[in-house]
Chain A
Amino acid sequence: MKYLRRLPLSAMLLTFYSLLFFAFIYAPLALIVTYSFNANPVNMMVWDGFTLDWYRIILGLKDRPVDIVNSSSAYLDSTDQLLEALRNSLIIATSTTTISTVIGTSAAIALARFRFRMRGFYRGLMMMPMTMPDIVLGIGLLIFFVSAGAKLGLTTIIIGHCTFLTSYVFIIVQARMAGLDPALEEASADLGANEWLTFRKVLLPQLMPGIAGGAMLAFIISMDDLVITYFISGTDSTTLPVFIFSMVRRGVKPEINAIATLIILVSIIIAAVGLWLRARRKD
């Protein structure tokens, strides 16, 4: 308190503002986590004691209470479905990350290093999908797939995600590329490395932070995408966000809180591992 009193007014206001800001961001998350341990099955706003039941239920370790199964509010049809959706999401995110990282990176390198006509035009084309509203992209893709006679499923979702995730990777790698001294590649060639060796030993490692950042972003967006996926997923290829969305449409129930909490936990673990790896590489 002594410390607080000595702060000038501006600093105090700033501290207050930051606290408010973090509260604004983290309060909903904290609420979800708290509710996921609430034993009250009917009204989760009312605390009814601590329980891990919701976790047990979504993991299939425990059957849901009979009264819930029989009531109309039963919505988690089976844990299998949830796991299936999660599996789909992971397959889609992994493939789209791989594909869009490769395409986006090569496009960024090509546009930065080779001179050809209409470079500006191509650059614009690469960025466009990112600026397009999701809903437009979703409808466009749906019409395209349907008129091309493609069966909606994992493949169409992967193709659909790649169309806009490539832009994200492209933009991030391109920024890294622009900051790169062209003399580095010349130095490599000068020292006797052919184009392939220069790419592998100099260009790729130099671009790696950008590529990794782009890939991470692509993975997260792909895991998280609802609007576009909603249009182009078939009936038997549900992703996690689409699955959760359809659950919520039938009412927000405690199990959703448990699922959300698990997702938050996984995100934190991934971010922590990322930070740890980075810190370790520094020294």
Chain B
Amino acid sequence: MTQILEVRGARRVFKTPEGGTVAALDGVDLDVGQNEFVTLLGPSGCGKTTLLRSISGFEQLDSGALMLEGKDIGRMPAFRRPVNTVFQSYALFSHMTVERNVAYSLEVAGASKQEQKILAGEALEMVGLSGTGSRMPSQLSGGQRQRVALARAIVARPKLLLLDEPLSALDRRLRQKMQIELKALQSELGIAFVFVTHDQEEALTMSDRIVVMRGGQIEQCGAPRDIFRKPRTKFVAEFIGDTNLFETTIECVHGGRILALTREGTKIWLSEETKLAKGDAATVVIRPTDLQVQDAHSSCGFRGKITRVIYLGTDLHYYVQPAVGGQELLVVSRTDGSRRAPGDEVTLTYRPERAHVVEDC
């Protein structure tokens, strides 16, 4: 895939008012392919906004390179970059009608009035807002303003669209609706999207690729499935979805099979390639959905007692206290199986390929 955007070794250090320094970006490499939906995901303060603002030109990198379609744009002023942004606060021009807002980029580029009208109308139709062109932004609901901001950013067909938590101000239902619409719009337009969020569910639903950031660096980058199934580090595993972590020591490694022992002495079988050897410490991840609740007499797995059952519509959450001690385990299963009650003795089983070793940092 040809790359539309390449970020190489991006660094940006801020001076804090207290006199210290913060590396908001600390050597970030990022590629975005044509028509790719990339999500930047990470906890607050990890540098997502700074990275986005560096791409749009509102923030200058201290060092590193920024290439758009192979051209260096690192020194280009923001207004010349063929990149548009959807702002978190929408930043609609309150003194202009919706139509003029949407047509703004065409207007400043010197397009004719007629052309502005036609293209703005098309963009508004795309976001499902045709007929509202003559209103003022203050006469729209939050969700509608969001769509106007989107229409305004896509009307001139930028090479790349940047979105900084555009859905965070919307309620849950509207947000889910917009997630689907945004994704559809993106494939329809064929524009690459770089989307910032700190909502992992949002990232998993929408992205072609997720970039997990932490402390100004990229922790892991990959397809949603890989990020979820094969988190590289403990941080990623814990950030993306609920997880059960086991601190273990490797007991033996043999041809893609690993046997790890928890501190309490429980055996965990894994089926994956590893550089680890006998005696190494390893953190093992098993997702709550990968554990099955079985009757107590089942052969191998984690013995324990159910402490809590939480009913969540389609899912049931079981909290299980292992018999050997240690942390409570979470199991998520479908409601349509057999129900168990708190106090039941159970065994939790898993498939070895669903257990995964992560780096311990």
Which residues on A are within 8 Å of B, measured CB to CB?
Answer: 181, 183-184, 186-195, 197-198, 201-202, 205-206, 208
Contact = CB atoms under 8 A, between A and B. Distances in A.
Contact of B91 (A187, A193, A195): A187
22 contacts: A183-B89, A184-B91, A186-B58, A186-B87, A187-B85, A187-B87, A187-B93, A188-B104, A189-B57, A189-B78, A190-B57, A190-B84, A190-B153, A191-B79, A191-B104, A192-B80, A194-B79, A197-B108, A201-B107, A201-B108, A202-B93, A206-B95
Q: Is the interface of A mostly helix, strand, loop or mixed?
A: helix
A278 to B, nearest CB: 14
A112 B182 CA distance: 36
Nearest to A202: B93
Contacts of B80: 192
Nearest to A198: B79
Interface in B74-107: 77-80, 83-85, 87, 89, 91-95, 104-105, 107
A192 B79 contact: yes
A195 B93 CA distance: 16
Contacts of A205: 93, 95
Contacts of B78: 186, 189-190
Contacts of A195: 79
B13 to A, nearest CB: 17
Most chain A CB within a 10 A radius of its CB, from B57, B58, B108, B156: B108
Nearest to A204: B95
Nearest to B89: A183
B89 A190 contact: no
A190 to B, nearest CB: 5
Given A192-B109, A193-B108, A197-B108, A206 B79 contact: no
A208 B87 CA distance: 24
A193 B108 CA distance: 6
B120 to A, nearest CB: 12
A190 B109 CA distance: 12
B104 A206 contact: no
Interface string B105-138: 1011100000000000000000000000000000
B79 A189 contact: yes
Contacts of B105: 191-192
Given A192-B79, A192-B156, A186 B91 contact: yes
Contacts of A187: 85, 87, 91-93
A225 to B, nearest CB: 33
Contacts of B92: 187
Contacts of A194: 77, 79, 108
Given A184-B93, A186-B58, A202-B93, A191 B108 contact: yes
A194 B110 CA distance: 13
B152 interface: yes
A198 B108 CA distance: 9
A183 B162 CA distance: 14
B56 interface: yes
A183 B91 contact: yes
Interface centre among A189, A193, A201, by most B CB within 10 Å?
Answer: A189
A192 B108 contact: yes
Contacts of A202: 93
A187 to B, nearest CB: 4
B87 A183 contact: yes
B164 to A, nearest CB: 10
B91 A181 contact: yes
Contacts of B153: 190-191
Given A190-B57, A191-B79, A208-B95, 6 more contacts: A183-B89, A183-B91, A186-B87, A189-B57, A191-B105, A194-B79
A243 B137 CA distance: 50
Contact of A190 (B85, B93, B94, B95): B85
9 A-B pairs with least C-beta separation: A191-B105, A183-B91, A187-B91, A193-B108, A205-B95, A189-B79, A189-B78, A190-B85, A183-B87
